[in-house]
């Protein structure tokens, strides 16, 4: 038996004035999702805990069956894994932004005018592998992800993730000096490495040909790298060890690939899966169908539903849901002719009139094979709440799915 989890990021919502008091999911024309709800069983999920807004990182861990209170180690390592860096136990990873500072060191733009990925790539080539003379045993790995964003990994010797961000998360102030957040030599050493990294990279970036060209063209230079979200990588038990399935992930964004990779999924790269509104949903669905030949469980992620929520565009979110429902048809058809279970859900609620994550439960449905048919006929926040699945926690989702797959060990005899 095989399974697909389709996760639309930030799927849950609240009534929107511009949609006549409906949520984007309620307002969406999505005949396939509604048919699956009719043929399957539905419910709602408190992804981390009731009434507790969660991030995508902890939300994904929970949906994949890993209690984030036990297994979460900060966002940096997940982003780094997703960016293709093979982490080792004890590595400290950060999320980074290329940003712009003026001569006095004041931050003018936290995104350096959203520099292009190709410019970021060129800058990164001169930063990754940078030697810090005071710490000859330390290795610096830096990789850009999308536009001004990237990841930094510090490797070697005693390190700690108990360090403060250099990113003040606002403009008009100076870059923060990294501080140890605990009284340990590891934390002090890591903060000192971060400080040296920031100074050295600023020197390199200030006079970099890419930035000289940007100045000539009237664009802000990317002359500093801001660090945030430190995390210390440790090997997690794999999904195969815990749930006896081999998994693959298909996603655009680095974070989602990274969380899946951390728990032992293989990453199937789809070049046209961009993690943005123009992502190629059909190509992703084809990759899912293809991957099911080799894997027991394929996880497909759609980011743009959350992006539309943060952009406060309920209509755009509704449109992404409609497109996803339509694009999902080949997987539904596969499930009609072969043994396949499908889970459709989200990782948190992002009300698109608020533009931030909230702790309302998200809808979920199980479909395929011998899944019970409840009386729910629409896939949305309110209809699903009346279904057979009831109200569950995020960490229960994998258990329920694996129960269908027959891979859960019996308790007792
Ligand atoms: Zn999310
Ligand atoms: Zn979000």
Radius of gyration (C-alpha) of the chain in whole angstroms: 22
DSSP codes of every residue in 305-331: HHHHHHTT-HHHHHHHHHHHHHHTHHH
What was the pLDDT predicted at 146? 84
Q: Domains along the chain?
A: 2-73+236-405 (3.40.720.10), 82-232 (no CATH)
Which ligand approaches the C-alpha of residue 48 most closely?
1
Q: Which two tokens stand for residue 256?
A: 């989602």
371 CA from centroid of ligand 1 (Å): 27
370 CA from centroid of ligand 2 (Å): 34
- 82-115 burial code (b ≥16 CB/10 A, e <16): bbebebeebbbbbbbbbbbbeeeeebebbbbbeb
What was the pLDDT predicted at 370? 93
212 CA from centroid of ligand 1 (Å): 37
Q: Which two tokens stand for residue 94?
A: 């950060």
Output phi, psi for 110, to 5 deg: -75, -5
Helix (H, G, I), strand (E, B) or coil at 181: coil
108 CA from centroid of ligand 1 (Å): 28
How far apart, in whole angstroms, are the C-alpha atoms of residue 221 and residue 254? 25
54 CA from centroid of ligand 2 (Å): 9
* CA dihedral over 345, 93, 175, 108, signed as positive or negative: negative
308 CA from centroid of ligand 2 (Å): 9
Which ligand approaches the C-alpha of residue 58 most closely?
1
Helix intervals (H) in 263-301: 281-291
How far, CA to CA in Å, does 329 sit from each of 30, 31, 88, 121, 320? Answer: 11, 10, 40, 37, 15
291 CA from centroid of ligand 1 (Å): 23
pLDDT tens track, the chain, 413 positions: 999 999 999 999 999 999 999 999 999 999 999 999 999 999 999 999 999 999 999 999 999 999 999 999 999 999 999 999 999 999 999 999 999 999 989 999 999 998 988 999 999 999 999 999 999 999 999 999 888 999 999 999 999 999 999 999 999 999 999 999 999 999 999 999 999 999 999 999 999 999 999 999 999 999 999 999 999 999 999 999 999 999 999 998 889 999 999 999 999 999 888 888 888 999 999 999 999 999 999 999 999 999 999 999 999 999 999 999 999 999 999 999 989 999 999 999 999 999 999 999 999 999 998 999 999 999 999 999 999 999 999 999 999 999 999 998 888 98
In 3D, which of 228, 312, 297, 296 has the Cα closest to residue 24? Answer: 312
342 CA from centroid of ligand 2 (Å): 24
Contact status, residue 198 vs residue 168, Cβ threshold 8 Å: no
How far apart, in whole angstroms, are the C-alpha atoms of residue 107 and residue 228? 15
Which ligand approaches the C-alpha of residue 352 most closely?
2
Neighbours of ion ligand 2 (CB under 5 A): 10, 306
E strands, 175-333, in order: 224-232, 247-250, 266-267, 297-302
131 CA from centroid of ligand 1 (Å): 36
189 CA from centroid of ligand 2 (Å): 33
The per-residue pLDDT for range 201-252, each reduced to its tens digit, is: 999 999 999 999 999 999 999 999 999 999 999 999 999 999 999 999 999 8
Rounded to two decimals, the pTM is 0.92
How far apart, in whole angstroms, are the C-alpha atoms of residue 20 and residue 176? 45
β-strand pairing of 340-345 with 41-46: unpaired
What was the pLDDT predicted at 140? 96
Beta-carbon contacts of 17 under 8 Å, excluding residues fewer than 6 positions away, are: 353
């Amino acid at each position: 038996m095989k399974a697909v989890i389709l996760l639309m990021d930030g799927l849950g919502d609240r009534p929107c004035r511009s949609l006549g008091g409906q949520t984007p999911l309620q307002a969406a024309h999505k005949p396939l999702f509604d048919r699956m709800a009719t043929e399957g069983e539905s419910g709602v999920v408190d992804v981390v805990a009731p009434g507790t807004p969660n991030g995508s990182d902890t939300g994904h861990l929970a949906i994949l069956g890993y209690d984030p209170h036990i297994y979460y180690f900060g966002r940096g390592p997940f982003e780094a894994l997703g960016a293709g860096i093979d982490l080792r136990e004890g590595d400290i990873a950060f999320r980074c932004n290329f940003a712009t500072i003026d001569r006095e060191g004041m931050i003018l733009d936290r995104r350096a005018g959203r520099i292009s990925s190709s410019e970021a790539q060129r800058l990164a080539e001169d930063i990754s592998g940078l030697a810090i003379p005071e710490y000859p045993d330390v290795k610096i790995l830096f990789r850009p992800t999308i536009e001004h964003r990237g990841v930094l990994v510090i490797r070697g010797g005693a390190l700690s993730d108990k360090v403060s961000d250099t990113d003040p998360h606002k403009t008009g102030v100076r870059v923060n000096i990294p501080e140890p957040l605990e009284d340990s030599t590891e934390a002090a050493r890591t903060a000192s490495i971060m400080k040296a990294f920031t100074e050295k990279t600023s020197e390199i970036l200030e006079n970099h040909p890419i930035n000289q060209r940007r100045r000539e063209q009237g664009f802000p230079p990317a002359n500093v790298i801001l660090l945030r979200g430190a995390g210390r990588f440790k090997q997690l038990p794999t999904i195969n060890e815990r749930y006896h399935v081999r998994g693959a992930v298909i996603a655009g964004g680095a974070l989602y690939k990274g969380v899946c990779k951390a728990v032992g999924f293989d990453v199937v790269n789809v070049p046209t899966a961009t993690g943005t509104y123009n992502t190629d949903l059909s190509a992703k669905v084809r990759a899912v169908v293809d991957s099911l030949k080799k894997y027991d469980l394929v996880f497909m992620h759609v980011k743009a539903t959350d992006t539309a929520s943060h952009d406060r565009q309920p209509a755009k979110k509704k449109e992404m849901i409609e497109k996803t429902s339509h694009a999902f048809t080949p997987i539904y058809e596969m499930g009609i002719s072969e043994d396949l279970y499908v889970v459709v859900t989200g990782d948190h609620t992002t009300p698109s009139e608020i533009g931030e994550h909230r702790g309302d439960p998200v809808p979920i449905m199980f479909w395929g094979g011998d899944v019970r048919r409840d009386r729910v006929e629409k896939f949305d926040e309110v209809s699903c709440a009346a279904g057979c699945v009831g109200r569950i926690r995020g960490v229960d989702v994998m258990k329920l799915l694996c129960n269908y797959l027959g891979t859960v060990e019996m308790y007792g005899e």
